[in-house]
Chain A
Amino acid sequence: MDMMLKGFSQVFTPTTMALLLCGVTFGNIIGFLPGLGGVFALAILIPFIYKMTPMAAFAFLLGTHAVINTGGSITSILINAPGEAACAATCWDGYPMARNGKAGAALGAAFMSSAMGGVFAAFFMMLMIPLIRPIVMSFGPPEIFMLIMLGISYIALLGSGPTLKAVISGLLGLMIAMVGFDPQTGQARYNFGILYFYDGIDLVSLSVGLFAIGEMISVATLKGKGLAIKIEGVGSSADLWEGVLACFKNWWLILRCSCIGAMIGVIPGMGGTVSSFITYGYAKQVSKHPETFGKGNIEGVIAPESANNAKEGGNLVPTLGFGIPGGAGMALLLGAFMIKGLDPGPSMLKENLDLVYGMIMILALANVIGAAQCMVFASPLARLTLIPGPILASAVVILCFLGSYGVRNSFGDMAATLSFGVLGYVMVKTKYPRAPLLVGVVLGKAAELNFHLSVQLFGNFFFFRPITFVILILLLVGISLPLWTERRRKRRTAA
């Protein structure tokens, strides 16, 4: 209880609140812009956290990440182009509502259900901490090593894009993490005589390049046009309130969908897209008017919006509790923890519990502030999608270079940023998912360290320890289940 109060009091300081507000505003702006997501936003912001306190840094980053889906719903409803992949399900009923002149109601419902989902996620996280704490505390190097493997494989198997390529991408990330000195033997690896590689690859340069530069190469080609071509009217404030009231009428649906979203978020790799599609289907199943889904039913907006914001709270559980990121965004957040000298996992729940509770409060506040901002500024901010691509791209690329330079004042980091930008671009074009690569880089060193510690402490057969063995079984089931399902489907198709 003391830790909780201590954490909450750290949030309510002028600096932290100001940074939270900045983060939420930035998150909403990025959320509006189709094609630019939460990972992109975090990648750009991470270089700026070096001189902030941990709480202020997480207010800035988590504030941004938490509201991405809230902003993303605006373009889903107004132009039928989801700002985020997780908002795609919102298009199905949001856009028909806009076409029927009910854009305001759809937006109001989307904002309010997002806020309610986000606040629910914070409560979910708060309830989960006392439950997972004793489990996490009993974990040693073998369990952590197996969890890292489980996390990487789940992100590869359950994430977007082809499975085989996702696993290859994850392995490439793990190999990038091996560059630099080996912590066990002090052996310099993969430096090829280049001084820059001795310190290893900088995570900021990699993430900024991979996600932001790669994306901007395409955005800059949109000469004279923005990410959106035209936008529908937002409607009056009375329309917005109609949507807000609909959320209170459908509170039970929001609660159930938020719960589903948060539970899905706990599983690494199961992103917001999955949660919003599942809850959309669920809402249709339990609705009294399933025939109106796809034609502008407000429940079809409420269900996915509450779930994709609630997912963030679920995502934080494996990230903070076990040091296993729930997705690419959380992998970047994990990188930010490392930058601030924090170690997510058992030690985090033991030594920095106040910070964990502070983050829960940040999550709840960010969702409320984000929704309020969207309610007030929906119309003018939606016009940001009309900013010409080259202007947006040139500003973002310069920000990327500034950010990567600011980390170590090294020109080499800027060159690395551009190189990873090219890699990111090639991966997008050849449909290799980038998220598993990032997760591999973030977890690579920890995987190697825990592997060696496990062998030293428990011998070569460390994976036969009880919890480790259970995780190994989960890993094998996770890998074999999709393959088995595919085989069955193939047989059925052949028959």
Chain B
Amino acid sequence: MKRIAEMTFTLLLLILFAFLFVVTWYYPYRARLVPLIFLSLGLVLLSIHLFKRYYKLDSAEEKTEEERGGDSEIDAPFDQEMKVLGWFIMLLAVLWAFGFLVGVPFFFITFLRWWAKERWTRVLSIAGIFTVLMYFVVEVGFRIILYRGWVFD
């Protein structure tokens, strides 16, 4: 499964690089020279990598490195992570619609209550404290006007 996911991502990168190569070709000479060098190199390396992965030509060292490699230490279930990603997308949508001052407490309450199953007292106190702190630190302290959202702007 991991191998397929990795090959799919590599293939997507290969398609992206090929697409950018075509796009770059139509730029003036000086604007396309350096990107074309990088893209050509990228296309070659991606092809080699994909070929090696498809025919399972990785060396023992590479395989060990694959097992060990990467830079995250938490190995969470995929479906759970997708749900969390859904929550983060929802946060962005809520922020776009209602801005920070409404979106942030709304997200805290919904996410911590329904996703994390935290107690109401804890949820409400975290949402309240964070929103008040955010307002005073960012808007009053740093003088950054917080985004008010599509509805209130």
Give the B-binding residues of A (Cβ under 8 A).
34-35, 48, 51, 81, 85, 160-162, 164-165, 167-168, 171-172, 174-175, 178, 182, 184-185, 187, 189-190, 213-224, 227, 388, 390-391, 393-395, 397-398, 401-402, 405-406, 409, 411, 414-415, 418, 421-422, 425-435, 447-448, 451-452, 486, 489-490, 493
A185 touching B31 in the complex, CB below 8 Å, given contacts A160-B69, A388-B116: yes
Is there a chain A Cβ closer than 8 Å to B91's Cβ? yes
> Which chain B residues lie closer than 8 Å to A422 at the CB level?
85
21 contacts between A and B (CB under 8 A): A160-B69, A161-B71, A162-B69, A178-B38, A185-B30, A187-B28, A217-B76, A217-B84, A221-B81, A388-B116, A390-B112, A394-B107, A401-B91, A402-B134, A405-B100, A406-B138, A409-B147, A422-B85, A429-B5, A435-B71, A451-B34
A178 touching B74 in the complex, CB below 8 Å, given contacts A162-B65, A223-B115: no
B66 near A172: Cβ-Cβ < 8 Å? no
B35 near A189: Cβ-Cβ < 8 Å? yes
Interface SS, B side: helix
Is there a chain A Cβ closer than 8 Å to B46's Cβ? yes
B88 near A161: Cβ-Cβ < 8 Å? no
Q: How far is the CB of A56 from chain B (nearest CB, A)?
A: 13
8 Å CB contact of B107 from A34, A165, A182, A398? A398
CA distance A172 to B75 in the complex (A): 25
A430 near B118: Cβ-Cβ < 8 Å? no
B70 near A486: Cβ-Cβ < 8 Å? no
B87 near A34: Cβ-Cβ < 8 Å? no
A220 near B87: Cβ-Cβ < 8 Å? yes
B41 near A402: Cβ-Cβ < 8 Å? no
A414 near B42: Cβ-Cβ < 8 Å? no
CA distance A452 to B17 in the complex (A): 23
Q: How far is the CB of B24 from chain A (nearest CB, A)?
A: 8
CA distance A212 to B76 in the complex (A): 16
A51 near B142: Cβ-Cβ < 8 Å? yes
CA distance A493 to B147 in the complex (A): 61
Which residue from chain A places its CB closest to the CB of B138 in the assembled complex? A402
Give the A-binding residues of B (Cβ under 8 A).
2, 5-6, 9-10, 13, 17, 20, 23-24, 27-28, 30-31, 33-35, 38-39, 41-42, 45-46, 48-49, 52, 59-62, 65-66, 69-77, 80-81, 84-85, 87-89, 91-92, 95-96, 100, 104, 107-108, 111-112, 115-118, 126, 130, 134, 138, 142-147
B38 near A414: Cβ-Cβ < 8 Å? no
CA distance A425 to B81 in the complex (A): 10
A391 touching B116 in the complex, CB below 8 Å, given contacts A164-B49, A398-B91: yes
> Which chain A residues lie closer than 8 Å to B41 at the CB level?
171
A390 near B76: Cβ-Cβ < 8 Å? no
B62 near A168: Cβ-Cβ < 8 Å? no
A405 touching B147 in the complex, CB below 8 Å, given contacts A213-B88, A431-B70: yes
B35 near A178: Cβ-Cβ < 8 Å? yes
Interface SS, A side: helix
B74 near A426: Cβ-Cβ < 8 Å? no
Residue of A223, A388, A395, A401 ringed by the most chain B CB atoms within 10 A? A401
8 Å CB contact of B111 from A168, A221, A390? A390
Q: How far is the CB of B82 from chain A (nearest CB, A)?
A: 9
> Which chain A residues lie closer than 8 Å to B91 at the CB level?
397-398, 401
A219 touching B104 in the complex, CB below 8 Å, given contacts A213-B88, A397-B88, A409-B147: no
Q: How far is the CB of A449 from chain B (nearest CB, A)?
A: 9
> Which chain B residues lie closer than 8 Å to A185 at the CB level?
28, 30-31
> Which chain A residues lie closer than 8 Å to B62 at the CB level?
162
A187 near B31: Cβ-Cβ < 8 Å? yes
A218 touching B81 in the complex, CB below 8 Å, given contacts A172-B13, A394-B108: yes
Give 12 new A-B contacts, CB below 8 A, not counting A182-B27, A221-B76, A391-B112. A81-B73, A160-B70, A185-B30, A189-B35, A215-B72, A217-B85, A388-B116, A393-B84, A394-B108, A405-B144, A409-B145, A448-B34
Q: How far is the CB of A90 from chain B (nearest CB, A)?
A: 15
CA distance A216 to B85 in the complex (A): 9
CA distance A164 to B96 in the complex (A): 39
CA distance A172 to B118 in the complex (A): 40
> Which chain B residues lie closer than 8 Å to A161 at the CB level?
65, 69-71
B66 near A162: Cβ-Cβ < 8 Å? yes
> Which chain A residues lie closer than 8 Å to B52 at the CB level?
164
Q: How far is the CB of B36 from chain A (nearest CB, A)?
A: 10
Which residue from chain B places its CB closest to the CB of A81 in the assembled complex? B73
> Which chain A residues lie closer than 8 Å to B73 at the CB level?
34-35, 81
> Which chain B residues lie closer than 8 Å to A409 at the CB level?
144-145, 147
Which residue from chain B places its CB closest to the CB of A173 in the assembled complex? B38
CA distance A395 to B116 in the complex (A): 13
> Which chain A residues lie closer than 8 Å to B100 at the CB level?
402, 405
> Which chain B residues lie closer than 8 Å to A224 at the CB level?
116-117
CA distance A34 to B72 in the complex (A): 10
> Which chain A residues lie closer than 8 Å to B116 at the CB level?
223-224, 388, 390-391
> Which chain A residues lie closer than 8 Å to B107 at the CB level?
394, 398
Which residue from chain A places its CB closest to the CB of B37 in the assembled complex? A451
> Which chain A residues lie closer than 8 Å to B134 at the CB level?
398, 402
Which residue from chain B places its CB closest to the CB of A428 in the assembled complex? B72
Q: How far is the CB of A451 from chain B (nearest CB, A)?
A: 6
CA distance A48 to B141 in the complex (A): 11
A452 near B30: Cβ-Cβ < 8 Å? yes
A168 near B45: Cβ-Cβ < 8 Å? yes
Which residue from chain A places its CB closest to the CB of B60 in the assembled complex? A493
B31 near A426: Cβ-Cβ < 8 Å? no
> Which chain B residues lie closer than 8 Å to A427 at the CB level?
9
B69 near A168: Cβ-Cβ < 8 Å? no
> Which chain A residues lie closer than 8 Å to B71 at the CB level?
85, 160-161, 428, 433-435
